[in-house]
């Protein structure tokens, strides 16, 4: 139908209609209306159809609650009826004395569990999480690894590879998991608030990702690190590199030492002054001292070896047998 509304005279005139001549073919089976409902705060929604009738028939008696996902049928029809979390609506099916009323509350998964919702409904994918974990572990196990050379000096896999790998996965996992925990956990409001809440979340989460990637990179480095000693040379192998230095090509052996950066040592002292319980960590940071040697090849290429690495004594013994003098700093260490 088409109407002309005259505001000046406050009248309505019908100009055109369609369907009256076609009989009941163009009539709806039910009518919709809008009413002011002070008792329910205008939260009453009328539902119709056999799907709703069957759904309401299976609900428990008055006073009992059941939990569903908002995406389940026929509740998915209510998805746009909730403007914000923790809202509720009343549903009515039928008219007059045959009408049945129920209340519908939208809750987050965590809140629903507190109210007694079954865990499989609140967290539908939790039961299958072990499958993805098993796939990830299986993939980690079957990843091809660099074969260790005979009699090679290597780092232990447990401390230098497996533990850093786990730490790296945990850190990067937090980068992906925390935004989902911070986001509103509702079926119709599931966009993480990572960037919409400001730069603070970005500055907080990105170090987790970068730290995890750095740890994984170092784990890959130590997993492929190998040193092989022969009568003629020392061979250094790692991912993407395979270098050898003949004993008679070594032009210099210089000492090297490492301490924590000055800014970190000063920061540790300040933290200790603010919190005496951090004294042990601050002392460790300030006393940390690492020594080693640098082998310089004739063409200028250098190999740095630390005294706390596995097999360092074997390396120094081979250097001494080849006629090289070791720096005093390393000899004393």
Write the pLDDT tens digit of every residue in 6-20: 888 888 888 888 777
**Local structure of 220: helix, strand or coil:** helix
* Cα separation of the two ends of the chain: 97
pLDDT band at residue 5 under the 50/70/90 scheme: confident
Q: Which of 137, 133, 123 is nearest to 181 (CA)?
A: 123
Give the pLDDT confidence score for residue 295 in this predicted structure.
93
- pLDDT tier, 189 (very low <50, low <70, confident <90, very high otherwise): very low
Beta bridge partners of 295: 253, 303
pLDDT at 331 over 70: no
What's phi and psi for 90, nearest 5 deg? -100, 140
Q: With 70 as the cut, is the pLDDT of residue 26 above it?
A: no
CA distances from 228 to 109, 157, 235, 245 (A): 56, 17, 5, 11
Q: To which residue do tokens 């549903």 refer? A: 91
Closest to 282 in 3D by CA, of 294, 293, 269? 269
pLDDT above 60 (res 329)? no
CATH fold for the domain made of 226-332: PH-domain like (2.30.29)
- Report percent pLDDT > 90 for the chain: 18
The 10s digit of each residue's pLDDT in 197-246 is: 456 667 777 888 899 999 988 888 888 889 999 999 999 988 778 899 99
Q: H-type helices in 225-289, by residue range? A: 262-274, 279-287
Q: Which tokens go with 118?
A: 């079954």
Residue 160 has pLDDT above 70, yes or no: yes
pLDDT tens-place string over residues 129-147: 789 889 988 988 888 777 8
Quickly state the pLDDT bin for 175 (edges 50, 70, 90). Answer: confident
Residue 250 confidence (pLDDT) above 90: yes
């Amino acid at each position: 139908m088409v109407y002309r509304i005259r505001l000046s005279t406050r009248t309505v005139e019908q100009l055109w209609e369609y369907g009256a001549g076609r009989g009941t073919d163009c009539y709806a089976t039910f009518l919709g209306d809008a009413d002011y409902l002070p008792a329910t705060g205008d939260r009453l929604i009328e539902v119709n159809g056999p799907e709703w009738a069957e759904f309401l028939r299976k609900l428990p008696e008055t006073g009992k609650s059941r939990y569903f996902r908002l995406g389940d049928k026929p509740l998915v029809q209510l998805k746009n009826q909730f403007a914000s979390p923790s809202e509720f609506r009343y549903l009515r099916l039928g008219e007059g004395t045959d009408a049945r009323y129920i209340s519908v509350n939208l809750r987050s998964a965590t809140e629903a569990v507190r109210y007694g919702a079954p865990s499989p409904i609140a967290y539908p994918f939790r039961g299958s999480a072990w499958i993805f974990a098993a796939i990830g572990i299986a993939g980690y196990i079957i990843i091809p690894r660099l074969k260790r050379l005979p009699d090679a000096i290597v780092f232990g896999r447990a401390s230098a590879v497996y533990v850093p790998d786990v730490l790296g996965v945990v850190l990067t996992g937090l980068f992906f998991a925390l935004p989902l925990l911070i986001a509103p956990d509702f079926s119709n409001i599931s966009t993480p608030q990572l960037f919409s809440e400001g730069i603070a979340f970005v500055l907080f989460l990105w170090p987790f990702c970068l730290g995890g990637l750095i740890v994984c990179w170092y784990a890959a480095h130590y997993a492929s690190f190998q040193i092989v000693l022969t009568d003629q040379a020392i061979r250094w192998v790692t991912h993407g590199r395979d270098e050898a230095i003949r004993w008679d090509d070594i032009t210099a052996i210089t000492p090297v030492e490492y301490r924590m950066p000055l800014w970190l040592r000063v920061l540790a002292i300040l933290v200790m002054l603010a919190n005496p319980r951090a004294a042990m960590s601050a002392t460790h940071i300030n006393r940390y001292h690492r020594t080693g040697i640098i082998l310089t090849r004739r063409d200028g290429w250098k190999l740095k070896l630390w005294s706390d690495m596995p097999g360092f004594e074997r390396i120094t013994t081979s250097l001494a047998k080849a006629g090289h003098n070791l720096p005093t700093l390393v000899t004393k260490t």
